[in-house]
Amino acid sequence: MIKKGLNGNLKGETFMQSTFKVPIKGKKGKGRVVMQFGSFYDYSDHCIRPDLPVEPMDDTLNSLIDVLISSGALPASVRPNTAIINIYNVGDNIPPHIDHTDYPRPFSILSLQTSSPILFGTHIIPLGSGKFKAPFSSILERRSLLVLEGNGADVAEHCIPGVEMRRVSITLRKMPEWAERETRERVAREFFGNEKGEEISKPPAVNLSDFVKKPSGGGGQKKKEGLPSVVVAQKKKWAEKVQDDVTKGRSAWKKGPSAIQRAPPGFEGREEKKKEEKKVVQSAKKVQQENNDEKVVLLRREQLVEEKKKNGEKKKQEEEHPDKKKKEEEYKEKKGAALKELNEQLKRQQEAERYQLQEINERRGNQQIAALQKLNEEQDAEYKTLVARLDKIKATALQKLNEEKVAVLKTITEEKDAEITGLASKLDAEKDTEIHSLIARLNKKKATALQKLKEEKVAVLKTITEEKDAEIKSLESRLNEEKDSTLQDLGESKSVKITSLENKLKIEKAIEIYNLNSRLSKKNNQTRQEIKALEKKVEKEEEFVFGDFSDSEDMNKKKKGKKGKSKLNPDTKAFREVEDWN
Ligand SMILES: O=C(O)CCC(=O)C(=O)O
Ligand SMILES: [Fe+2]
């Protein structure tokens, strides 16, 4: 099957190597081989394309599905009618994806040949070289069936990292309704050029083979209903072949511009293609010839039907008007000859037309093949030029973008710097203003607090002073009272003491005076005696010395002295005072 696919012998888009059609620069290998059956899924446009032909589901695939359904592995209500055979050679992978949500769930993957890990996650990160980072992984065992539905199918992506051994898997999915309908219509178109699928089993009422194969002069053979199976098979084969050629871009004149557009650039095996094209042109010519024959035969049939109808009418008229019969027979003969002549003319004309048409078709076919070939070559060249130009444009654009980016970044940086500076100075100013107002507020607060404190202090001091004053006053009065009482007490004891002291002193004084007086009187007595003694002595001496010198001054003095002898000396006086005092 792979060989068939590689040789281009599988229908339409069935066979693909790698999911990219244009080679990726620097990418080694071609990627996994993908073969699609039943319906085509376009990996590059991410859409289901029932309009593009692929091989139908074959018996093997259908019986595999029967087994899976009858064993209960898959629900009969979602019977798969498409299959993708993935062939992973060593290193091949399938990147993270969610199978198109138009495919009804569940869908399934059958793993064959070798087992392999499968990764799941809402955001699988590609790490390059077929490696991925994902939160969940599982092993797809060889010959196991993975059935996907719910979040596992619709929310989480899945991928197969680069395989270590060749692996094959079969993805089984049911087409959505609309794709099924479009596939049916396409298949019908491929067979009979009719949009309605039922025409496949119900051939057109006008039956080509009845006329083509009608035995000459027979007429008695009963007309068959429907096409004979041989003709159906032949027609089907032709239709398939032509359609196949058309979709592979080999028969552009049949399909028109869309086939030319789809012809891949760098199409390989051009020589075989040319041969194929020749064959296709021939078979197409044959079909055309057949069509022309069909047209002639159809025309002839219409004429015969017409004739039959007319004959019937004439017969009726003959029966109704037997007298006209002769005339009419003559007329019929003439008309028959004329008709024969006309038919022959028509046949000749049609023959000429057919050859003309054939020539035109051939010419047109050759022209279109040449045009296609030229177009392919031109497309190749154009593609290369375009890629080169695009690379150049891309490089220039990237360079320009980078420069613009640098310039924009510079402008933005400058703008931002200026903004930052402005903002910073504005913030500084705001900060200063705020600080000033804060300081002013704080100062005011402080002043108010200080004032309050002062007032409180004054009030407290006043209270304290008042309290202290009261205390002092009471203390003072108490002290005064105490002092007074003490003083009183002291005064009393003092006066007592003074009195006693005075008395004592008086006594002592009296004693002393007495003693003194007695001593004085003693002394006085002594002194008087001494004086007396002295006077006696002096008188003796004077008598001795002077005898009669009684008139001199000294004598006067002596006389005075004598006279003075009558006066009391101080001691005597004191003694007298003590005596008086006593
Ligand atoms: O090969 C596999 O196991 C996965 C295939 C797959 O995810 C797919 O075909 O969508
Ligand atoms: Fe998938």
User: Read out DSSP for 357-397?
Assistant: HHHHHHHHHHHHHHHHHHHHHHHHHHHHHHHHHHHHHHHHH
Looking at residue 569, its pLDDT comes to: 52
Cα 464 from Cα 470, distance rounded (Å): 9
Residue with the smallest CA separation from ligand 1 atom 8 is 171
Question: Does some domain include residue 69?
Answer: yes
pLDDT under 70: residue ranges of the chain: 18-30, 191-298, 318, 320-322, 324, 361, 368, 545-582
Contact between 31 and 130 (Cβ < 8 Å): no
Looking at residue 109, its pLDDT comes to: 97
Looking at residue 228, its pLDDT comes to: 41
| 100: helix, strand or coil | coil
Task: Identify the burial level of 249 via C-beta atoms within 10 angstroms of its C-beta, where 0-12 means exposed, 13-18 middle and 19 or more buried.
Answer: buried
Question: Does some domain include residue 109?
Answer: yes
Cβ within 8 Å of residue 248, ≥6 positions away = 8, 12
Out of 224, 247, 270, a domain closes at 247
Q: List the domain range (segments joined by +) for residue 186.
A: 1-199+241-247
Distance from the alpha carbon of residue 25 to the mean position of ligand 1, in angstroms: 25
Question: Does some domain include residue 302?
Answer: no
Contact between 85 and 39 (Cβ < 8 Å): no
Pocket test for ligand 1, best of 94, 118, 172 (most atoms within 8 A of CB): 94
Residue with the smallest CA separation from ligand 1 atom 9 is 171
Question: Does some domain include residue 461?
Answer: no
The minimum-distance atom of ligand 1 relative to the CA of 158 is: 7
Residue with the smallest CA separation from ligand 1 atom 10 is 99
Question: Does some domain include residue 267?
Answer: no
Distance from the alpha carbon of residue 99 to the mean position of ligand 2, in angstroms: 5
Distance from the alpha carbon of residue 472 to the mean position of ligand 2, in angstroms: 107
Q: Write out residues with Cβ below 6 Å of ligand 1.
A: 84, 86, 94, 99, 109, 118, 140, 158, 160, 169, 171
Q: How far is CA 15 from CA 9, 12, 85, 86, 207, in A?
A: 9, 8, 10, 10, 37
Contact between 55 and 37 (Cβ < 8 Å): yes
Out of 231, 247, 263, a domain closes at 247
Question: Does some domain include residue 354?
Answer: no
Q: List the one residue out of 441, 437, 465 whose CA is nearest residue 449.
A: 441
Question: Does some domain include residue 290?
Answer: no
Long-range contacts of 244-247 (CB under 8 A, 24+ apart): 244/11, 244/12, 244/53, 245/276, 245/280, 247/11, 247/12, 247/13, 247/52, 247/53
| 98: helix, strand or coil | coil
How many domains, the chain?
2
Pocket test for ligand 1, best of 116, 169, 172, 174 (most atoms within 8 A of CB): 169
Question: Does some domain include residue 87?
Answer: yes
CATH assignment of the domain containing 133: 2.60.120.590
Q: List the one residue out of 45, 32, 42 whose CA is nearest residue 85.
A: 32
Contact between 34 and 16 (Cβ < 8 Å): yes
Ligand with smallest separation from the Cα of 167: 1
Fill in the amino acid letter for 234.
Q
CA 152 to chain centroid: 22
Q: What is the CA radius of gyration of the chain?
A: 77
Residue with the smallest CA separation from ligand 1 atom 1 is 169
Ligand with smallest separation from the Cα of 112: 1
